[in-house]
């Protein structure tokens, strides 16, 4: 069975790679959501080189977000749309039967949104990674920061690999620590029944009257519907949200 891990990447690459050590199953695809920040991109290059040595069978690839942070509702919807597309592609294009989300890295609001989207799209688990001694990890990371930037600046994979090899023991200690050094926390999720979600979406787009009053009031409370006189209509926010769920 093919398994994909999808993870936002911030300034701490170890929270991504530690998860692969601790989860205890073969991961075929690792998708990292990055930004244009130099330190984030450098972290991606470090992970890519480290993974090529530790887990060469895992396909590592990057999705660059069009913003540094989610600071508006529109940004949040764009982020959801990107993540929704990534989840669909891992299932439909790359044939991954199992999708796991690691929300330990990246901006806090991105991780909250990704966790909720994971429920809606019925992923197989949402996880957080907690270091038992974060001060030690942060110190090692800062000690290696200059070398990580050198890997980022290197012009070829061969040069990146040479730099990694020079301090391989330290890089491996950072990226692939003993499972005793961190804890994987499963975030409780309750997947939405697919037929229920499909019914709601079809009703919103084609026949609003097929929704019960309870459904309409619930959707109004969450901003999906708005009341116009005695009837309900899809709000502008609701239209964008439905488009995200439909991958449009």
Per-residue pLDDT at 154 exceeds 90: yes
What is the average pLDDT score of the chain? 94
Q: Confidence band (pLDDT; 50, 70, 90) for 195?
A: confident
Question: For residue 246, what pLDDT is reported?
Answer: 85
The dotted CATH code for 3-186 is 3.40.50
Structure confidence by residue, pLDDT tens digits, 59-84 = 999 999 998 888 899 999 999 999 99
Contact of 163 with 151, CB cutoff 8 Å:
yes
Model confidence band, residue 85 (pLDDT cutoffs 50, 70, 90): very high
Res 247: pLDDT:
80
pLDDT range class, residue 104, cuts 50, 70, 90: very high
For 125-166, where are the alpha helices, taking DSSP H only?
A: 134-153, 157-166
DSSP state of 248: -
With 90 as the cut, is the pLDDT of residue 192 above it? no
Taking the model in full, what pTM does it have? 0.92
Q: For residue 20, which of 71, 74, 45, 56 has the smallest C-alpha distance?
A: 56
Where exactly are the structural domains of the chain?
A: 3-186, 194-246
What are the residue ranges of helices labelled H in the chain? 14-22, 38-54, 73-92, 108-120, 134-153, 157-166, 168-175, 194-206, 213-221, 236-246
């Amino acid at each position: 069975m093919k398994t994909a891990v999808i993870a936002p990447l911030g300034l701490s690459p170890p929270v991504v790679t530690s998860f692969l050590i601790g989860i205890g199953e073969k991961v075929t695809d690792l998708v990292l959501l990055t930004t244009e920040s130099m330190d984030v991109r450098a972290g991606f290059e470090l992970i890519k080189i480290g993974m090529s040595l530790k887990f060469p069978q895992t396909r590592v690839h990057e999705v660059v977000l069009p913003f540094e942070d989610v600071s508006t509702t529109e940004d949040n919807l764009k982020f959801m749309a990107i993540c929704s597309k990534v989840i669909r592609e891992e299932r439909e294009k790359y044939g991954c039967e199992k999708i796991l989300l690691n929300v330990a890295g990246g901006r806090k609001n991105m991780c909250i949104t990704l966790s909720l989207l994971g429920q809606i799209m019925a992923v197989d688990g949402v996880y957080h990674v907690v270091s038992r001694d974060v001060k030690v990890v942060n110190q090692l990371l800062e000690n290696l920061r200059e070398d990580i930037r050198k890997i980022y600046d290197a012009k070829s994979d061969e040069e990146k690999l040479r730099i990694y090899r020079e301090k391989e023991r330290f890089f491996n200690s950072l990226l692939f620590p003993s499972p005793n050094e961190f804890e994987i926390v499963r975030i409780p999720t309750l997947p939405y029944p697919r037929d229920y979600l499909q019914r709601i979406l079809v009703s919103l787009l084609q026949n609003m009257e097929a929704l019960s009053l309870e459904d309409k009031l619930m959707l109004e409370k969450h901003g999906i519907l708005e009341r116009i006189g005695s009837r309900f209509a899809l709000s502008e926010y609701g239209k964008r949200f439905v488009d995200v769920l439909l991958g449009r």
